[in-house]
RNA sequence: GCGCCCGUAGCUCAGUUGGAUAGAGCAACGGCCUUCUAAGCCGUGGGUCAGGGGUUCGAAUCCUCUCGGGCGUGCCA
C-alpha cells in the first residue's frame, strides 16, 4: 500500500473516532512547503463545516487519535492554521517504505477497450492522427501495466465514398502494368492523382460512382481491388506505428467496414423500440438529455433519406460489439474534441437501447488540436497537411544534428549515435504531445521540444543515462543492486518522498487518462534527482560506505522509476547519450 | 441562435474532490566545472489568475453575469 493510502486510512480511522461521517474525505496531500511537513491532512476543515463545529478543535481530536496510530512512523504531527494537520514522517519509516517492493493498491482488473489512432485509409497518416495515436498508446500501456486486459481497437476508415474513386484509379494503373505496391507507395500522391482524374474525366467519374455502389453491394471485382488497397494502406500505417514505437499492429485493426452487416439491425432495433423515428425521410434518434435550453432534443441521424448509414450507425454497432462480444468493462475513445457532441449522442443512445449495460463505462477522452507556432492549425509552409512520416523524419534529422554536436569529442560509434538520435527525436515529438494537458490545443514547436532543457524527453533520457553512468563508473550492476536507504539530506528526503508517490500517480493516470500527469511526475523526479546528484556525492572520496550504498539505492530506484515511466509513455531510453 | 471548450509571468505550460505566501521551463540577469556526463545545478527579477458580482474561515478552482478566442450544431467522417 502506498504511503499516501496508508495515511489516508489512518486519518480516516481517526476521523471515525472523532465522530466524523464516513463521506468526509481525509484530504491527504503532499505538503506544498517544507515547514508544513511531508504530508498534510485537510479534511478536518471541510468536515467541521458540514458539522457546523470548530475546525481547529475537530482537527485537534483527529491529531490525538493519529498520535497513537502512527506511532513510530511519524516524527511530528502538527496542528496549524484553521485546522491543517501537518505530518512529518520519520526517516526510518521512509527508508523502510522505499526498501519494500512497490505493490500497487489492490485494484480490480478490468477488460478495457482502447479505441485510438483510427486514421482514414484513403490517405497517408498525417499529424492530425498523432495525438490520438500517442496518447491512446500511452494509456493502453499504463492499463496493461496495472493488470487490466487491454483490447486495442483501431477503428480505421475504410468505407467512404472516396473509395470508389480510389479503386477505379487503382484498376486503371494496374491495367497499365503497374504493381499495386508501387502505385500505392505514396498514398498522398495516389489520392491526388485519382482526384485529378475524377475532376478531369467525366467517364472516369461515372465509373468511380458506379464502383462505390458495386463495392457496397459486394461486387467481387471491386471488392478485390478494395482489399488490395486496404491491405497496403494498413501496412503503411503499421510501419509508421513501429517507427513511432506504438504497439498497434494489423491485428488491432477493426475497421468501419467490419460493422457493415450489423448496421441494418442496429437501425431496425432502434426503430422497433421507438428510440429512433422517421423524420423528413431519415431515421433519427432524438436525444432529450442533450436538449438545449428551449427543450429541443438533439438529433442524430442513423439512416439517410433513401437509405445509407452514417458513422453514428457504425459507432453504435461498435459500442454494442465492445459490450456484447468483447465483454468490456470499460471502453475508452481517444477522439478529437470536435466530436464531443457526436460521442455524447452515441453514448446516450447506446445506453438507452441497452447496447451497453449500465455497469460498463464509456469514456470519450477528447483532445485538442495541434497548432503551429502562429497559433493556427499546424500546416506545411505551403499550407498542406504535414505527413506523419515527414514529421518523424524531420525529428530524427534535427536530433541527429544536436546529438552529433554534443558528442563531438566522444568515442561513441556512428551507429550508436544514430540510434541515440532516433530515440531522442521520436521521444521529443511524443513527449511534447503527451506532456500537455490532453483536452487543450497545443502548440507544436521544434525548438522547444528539442531544446534539451526543461520539461522535455531528452532531459528525462539524460537523467536516466546519468544514473546508468554512475553505476557503470563504479562497476556495479544496476539491475541487481540493493541496499538499505537512510534519508538524511533534504534532497534525499524530497527525492525519496516523490518516489513513494509513483503508484498513486499511475492509478490516477489510469483513472483519468491524462498522460501529462505522468510526464509532470517524471520531470519532477528527474529534477529532484539532479538536485540530489549535486548535493549527495556517491562515488567521491570520503563518502562512508553505508551512505554511499544508501545513495546508490536511491539512485537505482530513481533510474528504475524513470525507465518504467518512460516506457509507459512509449519513450525509449538508452545507456548513454 | 443554441451547445461544448478555453482565457494563469514577455513566450510555452502546470496548478489534486476549494487549502496556507499561485509554480516550472524558455527568454533576461548573476553565480558554480583539475572532483560521479555543465544536455546539469544554485540564485535574482517578472502576476489585476480576462473582468464584475456571489458562496465561505479560505476561490485560479464552485455559482452567476460580461468581454475575448476556438470548435461544433439534420442526411461527410
Distance CA A553, CA A293 (A): 60
Distance CA A316, CA A303 (A): 12
Which residues have C-beta within 8 Å of that of residue A215, sequence separation ≥ 6? A163, A164, A167, A222, A223, A226
Is the C-beta atom of A161 closer than 7 angstroms to strand B? Answer: yes
Q: Name the residue with the least CA to C1' distance from nucleotide B35.
A: A540
Q: How confident is the model at residue A381, as a pLDDT?
A: 84
The CA-atom distances, in angstroms, between A512 and each of A331, A365, A506, A517, A533 are 13, 9, 10, 10, 33
Integer distance in angstroms from CA A455 to C1' B24?
8
Asked if ipTM goes beyond 0.85, one says yes
Q: How confident is the model at residue A99, as a pLDDT?
A: 87
Distance CA A79, CA A70 (A): 15
Integer distance in angstroms from CA A120 to C1' B67?
40
Question: What are residue A77's DSSP bridge partners?
Answer: A87
Q: How confident is the model at residue A430, as a pLDDT?
A: 97
Is the C-beta atom of A576 closer than 7 angstroms to strand B? Answer: yes
Q: Walk along chain A (577 residues) in steps of 10 and give the mean pLDDT of each run.
A: 93 94 93 92 93 91 93 94 95 93 76 97 94 98 97 96 94 93 92 94 95 93 96 97 98 97 98 97 96 92 95 98 98 97 97 97 96 90 91 96 89 93 96 96 91 91 96 95 95 96 95 97 97 95 94 97 98 95
The answer to whether A509 and A515 have CB atoms below 8 angstroms apart is yes
Distance CA A227, CA A429 (A): 33
Q: How confident is the model at residue A102, as a pLDDT?
A: 65
List chain A domain ranges: 3-89, 161-252, 388-569
What distance, in Å, lies between the first and last C-alpha atoms of chain A? 36
Considering the segment(s) A3-89 as one domain, its CATH architecture is 2-Layer Sandwich (3.30)
Indicate the pTM of the whole model. 0.97
Give the Cα-Cα-Cα angle A88, A89, A94 (nearest 5 degrees).
Answer: 150
Pick from A464, A387, A14: nearest CA to A28: A14
Q: How confident is the model at residue A409, as a pLDDT?
A: 82
The answer to whether A574 and A420 have CB atoms below 8 angstroms apart is yes
Integer distance in angstroms from CA A33 to C1' B46?
22
Q: Name the residue with the least CA to C1' distance from nucleotide B70.
A: A441
The CA-atom distances, in angstroms, between A147 and each of A104, A108, A110, A112, A361 are 10, 8, 8, 11, 18
Nucleotides in chain B with any atom closer than 7 Å to protein CB: 2-6, 12-17, 19-21, 24-27, 35-37, 39-42, 56-58, 70-77
CATH 1.10.730.10 correct for A388-569? yes
- What strands, in cross-sheet order, belong to the sheet with A84-89? A28-30, A39-41, A84-89, A74-80
Sign of the dihedral through C-alpha A416, A417, A419, A423: positive
Q: How confident is the model at residue A104, as a pLDDT?
A: 61
Q: How confident is the model at residue A160, as a pLDDT?
A: 87
Question: What are residue A114's DSSP bridge partners?
Answer: A152, A332
Distance CA A263, CA A269 (A): 10
pLDDT digits (tens, 9 = 90+) for A34-45: 889 999 999 999
Q: How confident is the model at residue A135, as a pLDDT?
A: 97
Distance CA A181, CA A162 (A): 19
Is the C-beta atom of A308 closer than 7 angstroms to strand B? Answer: yes
Amino acid at each position: 500500500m502506498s504511503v499516501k493510502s496508508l495515511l489516508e486510512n489512518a486519518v480516516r480511522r481517526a476521523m471515525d473516532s472523532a465522530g466524523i461521517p464516513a463521506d468526509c474525505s481525509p484530504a491527504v496531500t503532499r505538503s506544498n512547503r517544507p515547514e508544513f511537513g511531508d504530508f498534510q491532512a485537510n479534511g478536518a476543515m471541510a468536515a467541521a463545516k458540514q458539522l457546523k463545529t470548530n475546525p481547529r478543535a475537530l482537527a485537534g481530536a483527529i491529531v490525538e487519535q493519529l498520535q497513537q496510530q502512527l506511532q513510530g512512523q511519524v516524527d511530528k504531527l502538527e496542528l496549524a492554521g484553521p485546522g491543517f494537520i501537518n505530518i512529518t514522517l520519520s526517516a526510518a519509516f521512509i527508508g523502510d517504505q522505499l526498501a519494500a517492493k512497490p505493490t500497487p493498491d489492490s485494484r480490480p482488473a478490468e477488460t478495457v477497450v482502447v479505441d485510438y489512432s483510427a486514421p482514414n485509409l484513403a490517405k497517408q497518416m498525417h499529424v492530425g492522427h498523432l495525438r490520438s495515436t500517442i496518447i491512446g498508446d500511452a494509456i493502453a500501456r499504463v492499463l496493461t501495466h496495472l493488470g487490466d486486459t487491454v483490447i486495442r481497437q483501431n477503428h480505421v476508415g475504410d468505407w467512404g465514398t472516396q473509395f470508389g474513386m480510389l479503386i477505379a484509379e487503382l484498376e486503371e494503373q494496374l491495367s497499365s502494368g503497374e504493381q499495386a505496391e508501387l502505385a500505392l507507395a505514396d498514398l498522398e500522391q495516389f489520392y491526388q492523382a485519382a482526384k485529378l482524374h475524377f475532376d478531369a474525366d467525366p467517364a472516369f467519374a461515372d465509373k468511380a460512382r458506379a464502383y462505390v455502389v458495386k463495392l457496397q453491394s459486394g461486387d467481387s471485382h471491386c471488392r478485390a481491388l478494395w482489399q488490395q488497397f486496404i491491405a497496403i494502406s494498413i501496412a503503411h500505417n503499421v510501419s509508421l506505428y513501429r517507427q513511432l514505437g506504438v504497439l498497434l499492429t494489423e491485428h488491432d485493426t477493426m475497421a468501419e467496414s467490419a460493422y457493415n452487416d450489423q448496421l441494418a439491425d442496429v437501425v431496425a432495433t432502434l426503430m422497433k423500440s421507438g428510440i429512433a423515428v422517421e423524420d423528413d425521410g431519415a431515421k433519427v434518434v432524438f436525444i432529450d438529455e442533450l436538449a438545449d435550453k428551449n427543450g429541443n432534443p438533439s438529433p442524430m441521424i442513423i439512416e439517410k433519406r433513401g437509405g445509407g448509414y452514417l458513422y453514428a450507425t457504425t459507432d453504435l454497432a461498435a459500442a454494442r460489439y465492445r459490450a456484447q462480444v468483447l465483454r468490456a468493462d470499460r471502453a475508452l475513445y481517444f477522439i478529437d474534441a470536435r466530436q464531443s457532441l457526436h460521442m455524447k449522442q452515441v453514448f446516450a443512445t447506446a445506453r438507452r437501447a441497452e447496447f451497453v449495460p449500465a455497469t460498463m463505462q464509456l469514456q470519450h477522452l477528447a483532445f485538442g488540436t495541434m497548432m503551429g507556432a502562429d497559433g493556427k492549425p499546424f500546416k506545411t509552409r505551403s499550407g498542406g497537411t504535414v505527413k506523419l512520416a515527414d514529421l518523424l523524419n524531420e525529428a530524427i534529422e534535427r536530433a541527429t544534428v544536436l546529438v552529433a554536436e554534443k558528442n563531438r569529442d566522444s568515442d561513441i560509434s556512428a551507429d550508436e549515435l544514430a540510434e541515440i538520435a532516433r530515440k531522442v527525436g521520436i521521444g521529443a515529438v511524443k513527449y511534447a504531445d503527451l506532456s500537455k494537458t490532453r483536452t487543450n490545443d497545443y502548440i507544436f514547436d521544434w525548438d522547444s521540444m528539442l531544446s534539451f532543457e526543461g520539461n522535455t524527453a531528452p532531459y528525462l533520457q539524460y537523467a536516466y543515462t546519468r544514473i546508468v553512468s554512475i553505476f557503470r563508473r563504479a562497476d556495479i550492476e544496476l539491475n541487481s543492486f540493493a541496499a538499505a536507504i537512510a534519508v538524511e539530506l533534504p534532497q534525499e528526503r524530497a527525492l525519496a518522498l516523490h518516489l513513494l508517490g509513483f503508484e498513486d500517480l499511475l492509478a490516477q493516470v489510469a483513472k483519468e487518462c491524462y498522460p501529462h500527469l505522468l510526464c509532470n511526475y517524471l520531470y519532477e523526479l528527474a529534477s529532484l534527482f539532479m538536485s540530489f546528484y549535486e548535493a549527495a556525492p556517491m562515488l567521491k572520496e570520503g563518502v562512508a560506505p553505508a551512505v554511499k550504498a544508501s545513495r546508490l539505492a536511491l539512485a537505482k530506484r530513481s533510474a528504475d522509476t524513470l525507465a518504467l515511466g518512460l516506457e509507459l509513455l512509449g519513450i525509449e531510453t538508452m545507456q548513454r547519450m
